Amino acid sequence: MRLSVFNEGSSLPRDLSGEIFNPFVSVRKGSGEGHLGQGLLIVRLIAEHHDGQVQAGNQVHNSVPGLRFDVDLPAP
């Protein structure tokens, strides 16, 4: 089973591609808002707990650039 989420506007910098699911990593640095960089870590841990995996990558959807997240879980 795959769950995909598309986030308009944000993109994944190349230097963060291997780190985005690690603690204290955020692509929203400098946006003026406080971010702890824990959200995607929690997503990864939940997916792994259920023998799944999560991936992120840049994508254009309906001519809008953004970031796509895929959570793959085994069939129940």
DSSP state of 63: T
Note whether 76 and 63 are within 8 A (CB): no
Residue 7: its H or E element: strand 2-8
DSSP string, 11-61: ---GGGTTTTTSTT--S-TTSSS---S-HHHHHHHHHHHTT-EEEEEEEEE
CATH code of the domain containing 7: 3.30.565.10
User: How many domains in the chain?
Assistant: 1
The per-residue pLDDT for range 12-70, each reduced to its tens digit, is 888 888 899 999 988 766 555 667 889 999 999 999 999 999 999 999 988 999 999 99
Prediction pTM value: 0.80
- Write out the residue range of the structural domain in which residue 40 sits: 2-72
